[in-house]
Structure 1
Amino acid sequence: MLKNTSLTTYISILRGINVSGKNIIKMEALRNLYTTIGFYDIHTYLQSGNVTFRALATDEQMLEQTIEQYIKKEFSLDIPVQVMNVEALKNVIHNNPFLKDETLDPSFFHVTFLKIPPAVVDLKAIESKKTEQEKMAFSGKVIYLYCPEGYGNTKLNNNFLEKRLKVTATTRNWKTTTALLQLAQETEIL
């Protein structure tokens, strides 16, 4: 491990790996790939493409493209990747408007991360798909969801939002989102 304060800690989230037996990438192979790219202090969380790492590079879009290219070359898969620094993920968590409502159970919170801000948002059409109990809030490149009937039952799923917004997205539950921040913060102090 390289001990260097000029390294920046990042979180990368991959869309659609190890879901329903498709786009299989073992976490050990993913960590090895990140090492090959030249990243440091690499940690994965769960089997769904959540990685914290440190890098000298500071251009998140370039990091995304590099990881996507290496995945394509190594695994022959076109996997969208989103990269953010620790401060960006802290802001995502801190800005969740549902945290202020103590009547809501955080185990039903989800965050949909958008690759880019959508050019057009037909909020009325999107909200027409939510149930009476569901809640949704937009904030730049993030959509906060509250799905008390379970994410597997909502029509506000990742595929629907991608189709409506015409942007690539990936969704994580609240537990994963907060765990990634904790893992990234622990990586920063290594």
Structure 2
Amino acid sequence: MTRYVALLRAVNLGSHKKVSMTDLRELLTGLGYADVRTYLQSGNAVFTAPETRPERVAASVEERLAADLGLMTEVILRTAEELQDVVERNPLKVDDPAKSTVWFLLRPPARDWLTGMDLDRFAPEEMRAGEREIYLRLPNGIGRAKLPVALGRRLKTPATMRNWKTVTSLLSLAE
């Protein structure tokens, strides 16, 4: 049995791609997953599954979201252990958990995705790349940040962002 954290991409933002957390819990339970819990209204779920291959779990959830709820979105999964590593490897100082974020990537970005980009011009915003995560420190707030927009134009893989409070809360739920 594997403990997973599922991050649904771009749900409950504005008026499209709406999913209630009750429906999400029922959907995951219907797939045979156990100890299903959700966090906030932004498509975060934690559950235990017998399947040890995350790509199969993600595909099952995506298929069921489409079939049952008419929702087409990527499901980005991390095991509880992987999420623990994300937290432990954060190379940036977390002054304010609401202004520190992690972009969870579906797959690693191309090796040259940052070539020619001057990250210093976005100061005081900071970014450090992990293997399938991008850590951001946005001291002036997420809403006014320019670095995520610039990075998003270069990133050619689906990703979803969570603030540090959400990341650490999901880890607590997963443990």
What TM-score does the superposition give when structure 1 sets the normalisation length?
0.86
In 2: Cα distance, 1:45 partner to 1:122 partner: 32
The amino acid of 1:25's aligned partner reads V
In 2: Cα distance, 1:62 partner to 1:130 partner: 40
In 1: Cα distance, 2:6 partner to 2:52 partner: 13
Partner of 2:151: 161
Q: What's the secondary structure of 2:78's corresponding residue?
A: strand
In 1: Cα distance, 2:86 partner to 2:96 partner: 18
Query: Does the CA-based 8 Å contact 2:105-2:160 persist in structure 1?
Result: yes
Partner of 1:98: 92
What is the CA deviation profile of residues 105-147 of structure 1, one whole-angstrom value per residue up to 9, with x for unaligned ones? 3431100011000123332555458522111000110100000
Where does 1:146-185 land on structure 2 (aligned, <5 Å)? 146-157=137-148, 160-185=150-175
Partner of 1:32: 26
Partner of 1:141: 132
In 2: Cα distance, 1:182 partner to 1:130 partner: 35
Closer/same/farther in 2, CA of residues 169 and 125 from structure 1, 3 Å limit: farther
Query: Does the CA-based 8 Å contact 1:130-1:155 persist in structure 2?
Result: no
- Equivalent pairs: percent with the same residue? 37
Q: What's the secondary structure of 1:154's corresponding residue?
A: coil
- State the number of aligned residues: 175
RMSD: 1.8
Question: Of Structure 1 and Structure 2, which has the larger fraction of its residues in helix?
Answer: 1
In 1: Cα distance, 2:61 partner to 2:55 partner: 10
In 2: Cα distance, 1:93 partner to 1:37 partner: 28
User: Structure 2: where are the runs of 5+ without partners?
Assistant: none
User: Structure 1: where are the runs of 5+ without partners?
Assistant: 1-6, 186-190
The amino acid of 1:167's aligned partner reads T
Partner of 1:3: none
Give the ranges of 4+ consecutive aligned residues of structure 1 lying more than 6 Å apart after TM superposition.
Answer: none
Between stretches 106-115 and 49-58, larger displacement belongs to 106-115
Instruction: Compute the displacement of 1:152 (Å).
Output: 1.2
In 1: Cα distance, 2:155 partner to 2:120 partner: 14
